[in-house]
Amino acid sequence: AAGVIQSPRHLIKEKRETATLKCYPIPRHDTVYWYQQGPGQDPQFLISFYEKMQSDKGSIPDRFSAQQFSDYHSELNMSSLELGDSALYFCASSLRLVKNTGELFFGEGSRLTVL
Amino acid sequence: KNQVEQSPQSLIILEGKNCTLQCNYTVSPFSNLRWYKQDTGRGPVSLTIMTFSENTKSNGRYTATLDADTKQSSLHITASQLSDSASYICVVSHRLSGGYNKLIFGAGTRLAVHP
């Protein structure tokens, strides 16, 4: 079965550079979530989209932006990268969690290293 | 404050033994509780989702329990295998107004199964 696809899987950038991560949700899923997971940390919610509109915002820095496109894929844009941005970035998709039991499927993550 | 706390932080057991992981939460209002398995550097994979009315749910060698009164959950792993070595994350769904749910992650329990 198709899963959540994230690209690139690994990315190395230098401070003050920009980076773009992409997420392709499971077909027919209408909701996308972005999480940031630092070393030894639990995933921190960044932002989510439902039907191409931002539905919730977490601890996403102002330097980051994201959007969901008409084909439901999402991109996380990160500018003025800092060392502390080095982390594993997960994308997850689901049918909207209105019914309280919507399953959340995670991608394999994109590992960003900022030098 | 809505929080999810897991214990122990890490655990080492021998192959074939059983173990139990704990999750306590203060999330309210509560929608559901999920247990995820996360292999190192990989995306979390769902093991179980439990709603308010469910006390026990099994998925193969994994059995989750939920006591909504005391706000406690446990994940019991039977006859552990080397492949069970991973982080186990408890995630509680916080029901917000408008029918939307926000996921609150625990810090995880890192399980190592040794031969």
**In chain B, count of helices (H) and strands (E)?**
0, 11
Mean pLDDT over all residues of chain B?
A: 91
* Diameter over CA atoms, chain B: 49
User: What is the pLDDT, as a whole number, of residue B41?
Assistant: 82
Confidence at residue A98, expressed as pLDDT on a 0 to 100 scale: 47
* Interface membership of A114 toward B (CB under 8 Å): no
Contact B95 A100 (CB under 8 A): yes
What are the residues whose beta carbons fall under 8 Å from the beta carbon of A40, sequence distance 6 or more?
none
DSSP B73-104: EEEEE-S--GGG-EEEEEEEEEEPGGG-EEEE
| Local confidence band at A14 (pLDDT 50, 70, 90 cut-offs) | very high
pLDDT of residue B37: 95
Residue A100 pLDDT greater than 50, yes or no: no
| pLDDT over 90 at B99, yes or no | no
For residue A13, the model assigns a pLDDT of: 97
Chain B contact for A55 (CB, 8 A cutoff): yes
Question: Would the pLDDT of A85 be above 80?
Answer: yes
Residue of A nearest to B4 (CA): A42
| A99 three-state secondary structure | helix
Distance from CA of B1 to the nearest CA of A (A): 15
Nearest to A106 among B32, B41, B43 (CB): B43
Is residue B111 scored above 50 in pLDDT? Answer: yes
Selecting from B51, B99, B102 the residue whose C-beta is nearest the C-beta of A101 gives: B51
Verify whether the Cβ–Cβ distance A109 to B108 is below 8 Å: no
Angle, alpha carbons A82-A84-A85 (nearest 5°):
70
Residue % of chain A over a pLDDT of 70: 93
Q: What is the pLDDT, as a whole number, of residue B28?
A: 85
